[in-house]
Amino acid sequence: MSDPTATSHQTATPPARGPAGSPPRVCEAALAEAARAVARVRRRGGRRSLLVGLALALAAFAVFAVSLSVGEMVIPVGDVLATLFGGGEPGSRFVILELRLPRALLAVLVGAGFGMAGGVFQTVLRNPLASPDIIGISSGASAAAVTASMVFAVSGLALSASALAGALVAGTLIYVLAWRKGVVGARLVLVGLGVGCGLNSLVWYLMSRAEVTGAQNALLWLTGSLNGRSWNQVWPQVTALAVLVPLTLVAARTLRALQLGDDTASGLGARAEQSRLALLACGVALAGVSTAAAGPVAFVAFVAAPVARMLLPGRGAVLPHAALAGALLVLLADLAAQHALPGTQLPVGVVTSVIGAPYLLWLLARANRVGRGG
């Protein structure tokens, strides 16, 4: 009688093996299949990222064209496009190119700057509240601009430069005060809130001592507005973003490693603290130049990045998409600010606050429900 165990050993087929010292071929096949699966997932993610980016860009361009079309003199969108590409009547060319185009372009540039800055801050600090308009960066720009305007009678580009300097000083102060052998997101947010409250107190003190005309001019630096903006504000913003956006994207190469924590990032070869400092510096500069161009347009940086991440879940910071979402948000808000109330042009910051304040309340309520509200 034959031994069944022996029969089993005789009929079982051993795994095929490759050359000497190499793993079995079955393992190689499994690894190859896993690599192909990862490649398929990456291709799908890349296609979705591209489609979402194109959709945001097309939506922003559509709103951009409508904002150039409507007003006291309504110009058909076809004529708007013809004028942008060199055609059009002389009258419509003046209205579009000299009166409406600078404002619409500045809305795109300011929104993109705030959106990318918000994406950097929220991702680096891993905190949805860590937005430059929440943690005091924009307050620093406002305080510097109001002080320069009311105390030193500064105006024009020098006033915008003062706002940028204020944002950089506020960002540096917040970072230094929050640093304890490194920066933790929650601590930096709390320090930023405190610094922002102090700077806002300074602004309101100066406002209380100002004449009515001076106080009205200073309101720009409290709410954010695109009213009366011209090419004089567009070109400095174009130049600043042409430098800062590439720098931010280069610095963001370590962002995925930083999202895994400092120890893991260090294990992967990234210099965690230096990379975080470089990214925060880029974020502060982006928020500073945007505030210098249009004032502290509230909640754009706070809302744009979560919108981009919601459209692309699991894709990390998606900074270009956050910039596009910010541009679309400011374009829509400015269109509403100009035409929602006939005969009245609201500051764009008022409209963005109407959008952003409910989102902040929802975020706080959600944090409390999941036990992260303190």
117: which residues sit within 8 A by CB, 6+ positions away? 132, 283, 284, 286, 287, 290, 301
By the 10 Å C-beta count (0-12 exposed, 13-18 middle, 19+ buried), 49 is classed as middle
From residue 37, give the alpha-carbon distance in Å to each of 24, 29, 33, 226, 249: 20, 12, 6, 48, 28
Question: From CA 174, how far away is CA 252, in angstroms rounded?
Answer: 21
Question: From CA 220, how far away is CA 218, in angstroms rounded?
Answer: 5
Domain ranges of the chain: 30-365
- Of 304, 308, 319, nearest to 256 (Cα)? 319
Reading the block at residue 194, the tokens are: 């405190």
CATH superfamily of 30-365: ABC transporter involved in vitamin B12 uptake, BtuC (1.10.3470.10)
From residue 53, give the alpha-carbon distance in Å to each of 2, 70, 243, 275: 70, 26, 21, 26
Question: Using CA atoms in the order 158, 161, 163, 166, what is the torsion angle rounded to 10 degrees?
Answer: -120
Low-confidence ranges of the chain (pLDDT < 70): 1-26, 367-374
**Helix (H, G, I), strand (E, B), or coil: what is residue 180?**
coil
**Helix (H, G, I), strand (E, B), or coil: what is residue 318?**
coil
Alpha helices in the chain (DSSP H): 4-11, 25-69, 77-84, 90-93, 101-124, 137-150, 157-178, 185-208, 212-218, 220-223, 231-251, 255-259, 262-267, 272-294, 300-311, 319-339, 348-369
- Of 310, 295, 364, nearest to 114 (Cα)? 295
Long-range contacts at 228-233 (CB < 8 A, ≥ 24 apart) = 229/102, 229/103, 229/106, 229/293, 229/294, 230/102, 231/102, 232/156, 232/157, 233/102, 233/106, 233/160, 233/293, 233/294
**Helix (H, G, I), strand (E, B), or coil: what is residue 17?**
strand
Question: From CA 85, how far away is CA 89, in angstroms rounded?
Answer: 12
Question: From CA 364, how far away is CA 374, in angstroms rounded?
Answer: 10
72: which residues sit within 8 A by CB, 6+ positions away? none
| C-beta of residue 240 within 8 angstroms of C-beta of residue 222 | no
CA 21 remoteness from chain centre: 51
**Helix (H, G, I), strand (E, B), or coil: what is residue 90?**
helix
Query: Rounded to a whole number, what is the largest CA-CA distance in the chain?
Result: 112
